[in-house]
Chains A and B, each alone.
Chain A
Amino acid sequence: MSTTTAAKTPAGGSAFDKMSKVLVTVGKAVGGVVGILYQAGRDTIDTVIRNILPFMAFISVLVGIINKTGLGDHLAHWISPLASSLPGLLVISIFCSIPILSPVLGPGAVIAQVIGVLLGTRIAAGDIAPQYSLPALFAIDPQVGCDFIPVGLALGEAEPHTVEIGVPAVLISRMITGPVSVVIAYFASFGLYTSSN
């Protein structure tokens, strides 16, 4: 009896130790995951409040004024023909990629975002065919990051002479790749929303 209990007690103790170890590991793992999820949620709400909601407010004011004053209809007269044909989209993309204009059009992608919303309302109104949405996305965007080249290169720890060469190299490259991206997107848009029309 005594031997069996003596044998059992340490065995039960080690089982208890194992059990508590498992519990601690599980607790730590769950705590870690919950912590990560909680932090992810905190980051998300932060992004929404700092970046997304302010831009939504800004866009809403613009869209309200543009739609109500009839400015939207005037804009439609010159945007729709440009955005509803391949040559027109090429004109937009070349305009956006002109090396002097592109850094000016770049900051915060504000211009691209406003034009995006304008084109969106024209697509909704039926002035622009929906399959042109894909090439249009590339047509309004050849200036992406053109305002940010020195900072972006500095983030990549580039030396000053690399920045000196890099700024014009990227700007010149955009003149070619901007319109080319529109053409690629145009061909990639075949079959997009055409079956539903």
Chain B
Amino acid sequence: MPFTELAAAIPMATTAPTVNPPTGFFGALADAATWFIGLFQAGGDFFLALVTGIIPLLVVLLTAINALIRLIGPERIDKVGEAAGRPGIQWYPVRYLVLPVLSVFFLTNPMAYTMGRFLPEKYKPAFYDSAVSFVHPITGIFPHANAGELFVYLGIAGGITQLGLNTSDLAVRYLLVGLVVILLRGILTELITAAMLTRRDNAAAQAQQAEEATA
């Protein structure tokens, strides 16, 4: 009897694990499904936080600034553009500070770069460098200028918000440091462009001389 009991227990013992894997399998499947949906649930929660946290303020702010731009009229910056093309060191801040800031604020990315048309050819790369470098620092305070690329600022500012700190200080400093950086970039790129232009002109002149010598 103990032997038969034992014998009966063996299939019981063997069936118990063979029964468990199916539940374990389905359990694992269920766990996997929960985990899989959880990935998107976490994403969804994040999306909801973004939409309710950022969009309402953004919509009102963007509307107000868009209206302001329409009232002032972007065509008025043309005058600044004409002034900025003049040579001389006193026009550096106009060319790489005032003009890029006004262009990016009023014309926004990517139309801001059309302002380069008022400048002589040799200043155009530097102006582009200066203007394009301002399209992110400006978004901290004036998100209308480059709404499609807000997350360069918002991503990092979001972390500050989650810590319960105010992002205004960060936004202002981002803008101010941005101003310093675009002026610097404008001047440096202008110098590099000038150096490359003279080098190419020299090379062209040398090639011409060599051609004349062989002829």
Contact = CB atoms under 8 A, between A and B. Distances in A.
Contacts of A166: 124-125, 128, 193
Contacts of B163: 123-124, 126, 130
B184 to A, nearest CB: 6
Interface residues of B, number: 83
A184 interface: yes
Given A60-B46, A162-B124, A162-B125, A181 B177 contact: yes
Contact of A173 (B63, B66, B129): B129
B156 A60 contact: no
Contacts of A81: none
A36 interface: yes
B165 A59 contact: no
B113 A156 contact: yes
B148 A157 contact: no
B42 A170 contact: no
Interface stretch (A9-17, A20-28, A43-51, A84-92): A43-51
A56 to B, nearest CB: 5
Interface in B6-64: 35, 38-47, 50-51, 54-55, 58-59, 62-64
Interface of A: 33, 36-37, 39-41, 43-45, 47-48, 51-53, 55-57, 59-65, 67-69, 108-109, 112-124, 126, 128, 130, 133-134, 136-138, 140-141, 144-145, 148-149, 151-153, 155-159, 162, 165-170, 172-174, 176-177, 180-181, 184-185, 188-189, 192-193, 196
In the complex, the 7 A-B pairs of residues with the closest C-beta atoms, listed nearest first: A156-B116, A64-B43, A116-B155, A145-B132, A123-B159, A166-B125, A120-B159
